[in-house]
Amino acid sequence: MNQGHPPPGLRVLITTNEPWGTYHVQPLLDEAARRGWELIQVVPDVSRIKPGDPVPTATPRTAPPADLLVVAGAGDWPVEVAGRFPRLPLAASGLAYLGPREAADAGRLRPRLRAITAASQGAALAFAGHLGTRRTITVVGSPRTDDLPKRVPEPGLVLVLTSVTHPDSTGEAAPGTDLLLAAAEELRTAGKRIMVGLHPREDPALWARHEISQVSSQTAAARAEAAIGIPGTVFPLIAAVGTPLVGCTDPALRVPDYLLTVCSSTIDDAALAVSAVDNARLPASETLREGIGPVGGSAGRLFDVWSKAARGDVVELA
């Protein structure tokens, strides 16, 4: 690994709470290419990496020398990887939503962290809880809002945003699929056109009776009058497009407040879906800013923080 001042073209290892979930790293590849950086996601093995995945991957044994290790959470896998690279500078960046409860082994990461970033003030509050820290977290925005599609809503089109029905070795699941399926049926019966934006790990067979979007949920949202789904990482991204959201909140669901505040409303009964969608509106601009974060230039801000951390700086500025 590099010592002292690293060269401009950094090599950054990244590891997430979803050990094989490369979809959180993929939005960073354009900025990496622009800067001449190399991003490599560290995975337990390559058995679950699909052929042609654009995100370079390596195991802890095959990872090349690097300038920085970024953990996107304090789950079992990121903590294990950090332990495998004890001499690498370490940063933590919230690339996906995490609940505010402190992770069991977060204390093993905290002393090494040179920088912590999150997309928004709301995400920063939740990420601080996850890491068990009171340090300042640098709010950089989400790179997925750097190039927003132009919104041209089509009458009667509703985007349904799924989560993951069953947990597996790749990551956890969020409850609420039955509620969302029933809500989609209520909307279809009321004459709405349903398009489904699948979570990357969702079982598409559950949604086979509906049209499944062939583009990203954020791109699909530009066509929808409203979106309804299980609150997750994509919710602030959809709100950034300008599409109002309705959250389906199963009683067992626990998500950070900022994912709920970007919603027009939340429902726990499918019979309320049609009315909620018909009346969906974006929240106040201040509420949106807290949930979405700064829009435009987010990848650049994130990489600037990583560059400082790789140089040996401790980043504390908000």
Pick from 63, 294, 299, 273: nearest CA to 179: 273
Query: Is 238 in the same domain as 277?
Result: yes
pLDDT of residue 4: 45
Binning the chain into helix, strand and coil, the percentages to the nearest 5 are 35, 15, 50
Q: Are 226 and 280 a contacting pair, CB within 8 Å?
A: yes
Task: Specify whether the backbone of 4 is left (phi greater than 0), alpha (psi in -120 to 50) or beta.
Answer: left
Query: Is 124 in the same domain as 170?
Result: no
**Rg (alpha carbons) of the chain, rounded to whole number:** 19
What digits encode the pLDDT tens for the residues 264-283?
999 999 999 999 999 999 99
pLDDT higher than 60, residue 26: yes
Residue 272 lies in a domain: yes
Mention every residue, 6+ apart, whose C-beta is less than 8 A from residue 242: 151, 282
Residue 3 lies in a domain: no
Query: Is 236 in the same domain as 303?
Result: no
Tokens of 17: 């709470």
What digits encode the pLDDT tens for the residues 222-268?
999 999 999 999 999 999 999 999 999 988 888 899 999 999 999 99
How far, in Å, CA of 175 to CA of 222, rounded?
26
**Residues forming a β-bridge with 39:** 12
Query: Is 284 in the same domain as 305?
Result: no
pLDDT of residue 253: 81
What digits encode the pLDDT tens for the residues 76-133?
999 999 999 999 999 999 999 898 899 999 999 999 999 999 999 999 999 999 999 9
Tokens of 166: 């069953």
Q: Are 186 and 178 a contacting pair, CB within 8 Å?
A: no
Residue 2 lies in a domain: no
Query: Is 81 in the same domain as 203?
Result: no
Number of domains present in the structure of the chain? 2
Query: Is 107 in the same domain as 229?
Result: no
- Prediction pTM value: 0.91
Query: Is 161 in the same domain as 228?
Result: yes
Backbone angles phi, psi at 255, to 5 degrees: -130, 160
Query: pLDDT band at residue 203, thresholds of 50, 70 and 90?
Result: confident
CATH, residue 33: 3.40.50.2000
Backbone angles phi, psi at 241, to 5 degrees: -70, -25
Sign, Cα dihedral of 277, 278, 283, 285 = positive
